[in-house]
A and B are shown apart, each in its own frame.
Chain A
Amino acid sequence: MSENTLSYALKLARKDLIVELRRPHELLSIIAFTLSSIIVSSFSWRTILILDPLVISAAMWVVIFFASILVLTTSFAREIDRGTIDGLRSLPCQPFAVLAGKMIYGMITLVLVLVSLIFSSLLFLNLSASLIPGLLLIFTIGAIDFALMGSMMSAVLMYSEGKNLLLAFLFFPVSVPILLPGIQAGAKILAGEPFMALMPEIRLLFAFMLAVIAASMTLFQEIFLE
């Protein structure tokens, strides 16, 4: 990505964040969903003395997965619905800058959700504070993967009727390469395994990230221009 493309992408992401923060009900409802999911899990697990780390990890990833759908379904759909997509098309920059802007916006929003997820898990699932760095690392890589893949999916589906519904359905199969290593890595962190034990999963998550970036750079221009 050239310096110009990155700087344009940052401008686009900044615009999206300002727009989102001026109508914060969506972001707040996603954070409320995150908190309530963890609290409900806490209620239902209160009688179980030793919980399998895989179960906790899976529950946390399910929350991130649904939060990603809520954040990313709207990223291009809203531009189409309000007619501003033609404004984005008229910008004198590489089309990929527009996608990269949406990706950066998605990443920042998901990281905000992630922070609320991890801190609510510490409180309501009685996780140890020493797990925070490991969980933050693995969930942040996963959230970046979701943001990249979800933004691209949102772009692919932006012209279809019922795009929001389609994205929700199609998001699951393409998320499997994130969810499987992510859940495993989360479980290893919760079980107290050393950092090096996470390397196979981290490699898989990074490989997926590179694959999505490569596909986006190649295909987005064809999708974006009518």
Chain B
Amino acid sequence: MSEIVRLEEVTKNFGHIKALRGIDLSFTKGQKTSLLGPNGAGKSTLLKIIATQMVPSSGQVWIMGDDAHQNRIEAKKNIGVVGHRSFLYDELTVLENLRFYGDFVNVIEPEYDRVLEVTDIEHWRDIKTGHLSYGLRKRADISRALLGNPSILLLDEFFAGLDQETSVALTEYMHKLEEQTIIATSHTPELINSFCDRSVLIRGGLIEKEVQLR
């Protein structure tokens, strides 16, 4: 299996607080990994470093064989991020939001239909995202993250604030994404592990346990 993401001795300090204390991890193509751990374990920090939104204090991140923090623009083209807060603008419709983000990855028109179809949100494409329910908004956010067909999908606190029904529906969408390497954080393992094939437990900025789920 080809390696898509590799972390070498990644650390991150916020003043005297050590959020990550030397993480070594690798992720292969199509692999779906859950990063579990209590609040403050360093999961979101790790995702932000992989997404090249945060600079590590030391260590290296390799994405598709390139040093991600030396080639941030190229790395970002391969990464879709769904944060626990939506990246969508309330005043824009779902399609306008997708077009805004899609313009940065040179998306062609049929791609919008494809990503809207993946999360079954075509019906709401012309509705302002400020008028959508939390679950629909999350689906629109996943569609946004899938623009340009990125190889890596980073999902931060993916099920936070979602009801059971929507969470189950979203896990079904995740099953459809066979091509993408998915790295998802959560502190509720039940749902996230239903679509992941590996689970990594992080505690105090260190990897405590790694479990192969299937």
Contact = CB atoms under 8 A, between A and B. Distances in A.
Interface of A: 8, 11, 15, 18-19, 22-23, 82-84, 86-87, 89-94, 225-226
Interface centre among B53, B72, B87, B101 (most CB of A within 10 A): B87
A8 B76 CA distance: 15
Contacts of A82: 85, 89-90
Nearest to A225: B55
Interface in B160-189: none
Given A18-B91, A83-B83, A86-B85, A92 B104 contact: yes
B101 A86 contact: no
Contacts, number: 66
Nearest to A222: B55
B76 A92 contact: yes
Contacts of A93: 73, 104
B53 A91 contact: no
Q: Which 5 A-B pairs have the closest CB atoms?
A: A87-B87, A83-B85, A92-B76, A22-B91, A226-B54
Nearest to A11: B103
A226 B55 contact: yes
A92 B83 CA distance: 17
A18 B96 CA distance: 10
Contact of A94 (B48, B53, B73, B74): B73
B21 to A, nearest CB: 18
Given A15-B92, A18-B92, A91 B104 contact: yes
Contacts of B100: 11, 15
Interface size class of B (residues with CB under 8 A): 20 to 34
A19 B91 contact: yes
A18 B92 CA distance: 8
Contacts of B91: 18-19, 22-23
B48 A226 contact: yes
A90 B87 contact: yes
A226 B100 CA distance: 23
A89 B101 CA distance: 11
Nearest to A14: B100
Nearest to B90: A82
A91 B81 contact: no
A113 B103 CA distance: 30
B14 to A, nearest CB: 9
Interface string B78-90: 0101010111111
Contacts of A23: 91
A14 B120 CA distance: 28
Contact of A84 (B51, B54, B74, B89): B89
A75 B103 CA distance: 21
B105 interface: yes
Interface in B102-160: 103-105
A89 B55 CA distance: 12
A86 B87 contact: yes
A148 B169 CA distance: 45
B83 A91 contact: no
A11 B102 CA distance: 11
B77 interface: yes
B49 to A, nearest CB: 9
Interface in B37-77: 48, 51-55, 72-74, 76-77
A11 B97 CA distance: 12
Contacts of A18: 91-92, 96
A93 B76 CA distance: 9
A15 B104 CA distance: 13
